[in-house]
Each structure stands twice: as C-alpha cells, then as structure tokens.
Chains A and B, each alone.
Chain A
Amino acid sequence: DVKVTQSSRYLVKRTGEKVFLECVQDMDHENMFWYRQDPGLGLRLIYFSYDVKMKEKGDIPEGYSVSREKKERFSLILESASTNQTSMYLCASSAVQGNYGYTFGSGTRLTVV
C-alpha cells in the first residue's frame, strides 16, 4: 500500500525552538508539498518541491524553510517556532506524469506553547 508518512502525529514545542517536521513517500513521486490547515482557512501551501534540492515558496512561506536532499524525503523546518504556527501540518506528494492526484500523510498537529 503506497503511502506518505509523517514522522509525528502530535508535537508540542516551546516558543523559539527550531522544529523539524519530516515526511517520507514511497511512490517515487517527483512533487512534494507542505500545507498547513487551520479552521476556516482551508489548506494553505507553505512550500513545494518538484525535484531533489529544488523548492518553491507557496502562499505562506514566512517563518518556514524546507529541505529535500533525497527524492523520497521532504522536511519542513520552523526556524523559531511561534504560537501562531500552532496548526495541523499536512505533507502530500504527486507524480509529474499521469493523473493520479495527491497522496497525503496523516498530518502532524503541532502546538507551540
């Protein structure tokens, strides 16, 4: 069963900490995405990667960075966590060829205190 795996289901971090959210996919997909989801705001794109070591900013990249050193792994980094980054974080992947849509991970619910 193909899947996207996010390393943590729940995380609690302190303000100012550096936070790493990891995402791994086993489908050999070229594209990987990080979204955050907040009530009433839907899914908002933070960063996107279309190849190893390639990245593009999404709609809300401020306060975040990403790393993609291997095709299967896409990491989201909160450089200095703040309370307004408390959210559900979703990782997804998709293939460039074919029309198979997105596959999502189960999400990481991050609370910054």
Chain B
Amino acid sequence: DAKTTQPTSMDCAEGRAANLPCNHSTISGNEYVYWYRQIHSQGPQYIIHGLKNNETNEMASLIITEDRKSSTLILPHATLRDTAVYYCIVFKAGNNRKLIWGLGTSLAVNP
C-alpha cells in the first residue's frame, strides 16, 4: 500500500475552514484515499473517502488532484470539537494487512 505524508500539526480559528493536505505520490490506480480522525483517547473515526472525484458528506469535503498524488480534506466551518489528529491513508478493499498508518496531522481549533 502507498505511503502518505502529512504535516505534523496545524492550527485553525473556530468558524473558519480547515484545509488539511496529504501527499500520496505512489498511490496506485485501484487505491482509495481515506481520511480518519482520532479524538484524544478514542478510536479513529471514519470521515470520508474517494477514488478520483471530489467527495462531500455531512462532515467534510475531499479534494483529490487530477493526478491523484495529493488530496485535501476540508472542514468547512471548524469547531472546537474538530480538534483531533487527522489521518490520511490509501486503501483498497481486500486483505489489507499492509495498511500503513502515519502519525497524522494534529489539528488545533482555537477559539
């Protein structure tokens, strides 16, 4: 599975959009981009995923570049409860024991 690169930490003001980048330059054609977040001392929570088209759900939007080598997770109106570690991973269905979890981006939403 491809490896991802994310900034270690980011800050965002409450009410503003949070844009979290992720590089996945070695992604293969059948791998999806997934985003998870982990609030302190809880298990990671699924946010959104996509293959090559931009996606939106009630939590966030996912923008994937045309060459699929990078993506951006957008939280349109960040709240204090969005303070968490955000993980970007690439993944395909199947027996995916080789999934690599990096250290993610620690997002601090400030009042």
Contacts and interface: CB of A to CB of B under 8 A. Distances in A.
A joins B in a complex: yes
Interface of A: 4, 31, 33, 35, 40, 42-43, 45, 48, 50, 56, 58, 88, 90, 92, 94-107, 109
A102 B102 CA distance: 15
List the 7 closest A-B pairs by CB distance, nearest first.
Answer: A104-B43, A43-B101, A48-B97, A50-B95, A42-B103, A104-B44, A107-B43
Interface in B35-88: 36, 41-46, 49, 51
B4 to A, nearest CB: 12
Contact of A98 (B93, B96, B103, B104): B93
Contacts, number: 59
A66 to B, nearest CB: 13
Interface of B: 32, 34, 36, 41-46, 49, 51, 91-97, 99, 101-104
- Majority SS at the chain B contact face: loop
B101 A107 contact: no
A33 B36 CA distance: 16
